[in-house]
Amino acid sequence: MDNLNRVFGITGWKNSGKTTLMERLVVELCQREFTVSTIKHAHHTVDVDQPGKDSFRHRQAGAQEVILASSNRWALMHELRQQQEPPLEFLLSKLAPVDLVLVEGYKQQNIAKIEAALAPGKRPLLAFENTYVKAVAAGYQPEGLQVPILDINDIPAIADFILLQTGLVK
């Protein structure tokens, strides 16, 4: 996917409501008949494979990539094997074309994003310093922000904001 204006991020500190917001946005956007893909950034070792299963054993044996395929879905697992984490642009290039890619995490990535904030936290909102944060979806009323504040539970309004920002609606 080479059109970065069709990529939009959801960011925030740990336990800020990012994943729930992402899930609810995907449902809303799909109900509006947009095609959506997602990328989730994790700061820890994550494994989508089950120990003891054939595909897990293939990776453990040293395979660089393993495709697991069935009649319902397929998944490609790529082992980095001490290589650097790939940049977001590389991961985006691996996705099939869709109307919109929602990206969870990637706080410092140079893409437009909404910051999720269920409640005031110990850390200041990213929106105070990160110019890529275009709005805050909050469960409270933060003060002193220069960006719009959206109700974190008003999913249609947040979806509208993202669609306007990405040019998918006028």
Residue 164: its pLDDT value, please? 97
Mean pLDDT of 121-149: 96
Q: Give residue 150's pLDDT band: very low, low, confident or very high (50, 70, 90).
A: very high
Say if residue 137's pLDDT is above 60.
yes
The dihedral over CA atoms of 4, 115, 103, 13, expressed in degrees to the nearest 10, equals 140
Mean pLDDT of 150-158: 98
Supply the CATH number for residue 122's domain.
3.40.50.300
Residue 55 included in any domain:
no
User: What is the percent of the chain with per-residue pLDDT over 90, rounded to a whole number?
Assistant: 63
Q: Give residue 62's pLDDT band: very low, low, confident or very high (50, 70, 90).
A: confident
Q: Residue 9 in contact with residue 109, Cβ under 8 Å? A: yes
Residue 31 included in any domain:
yes
User: What is the percent of the chain with per-residue pLDDT over 70, rounded to a whole number?
Assistant: 95
Average pLDDT, the chain: 90
Residue 98 included in any domain:
yes
Mean pLDDT of 95-119: 94
Picking from 4, 11, 24, the residue whose alpha carbon sits closest to that of residue 133 is 11
Domain that holds residue 121: 4-45+86-166
User: Residues near 157 by Cβ (< 8 Å), separated by ≥ 6?
Assistant: 150, 151
Q: Give residue 42's pLDDT band: very low, low, confident or very high (50, 70, 90).
A: confident
Picking from 134, 120, 163, 144, the residue whose alpha carbon sits closest to that of residue 10 is 134
Residue, of 153 and 45, whose pLDDT is higher: 153
Residue 77 included in any domain:
no
Residue 141 included in any domain:
yes
Picking from 44, 43, 63, 45, the residue whose alpha carbon sits closest to that of residue 54 is 63
Residue 2: its pLDDT value, please? 45
Domain total for the chain? 1
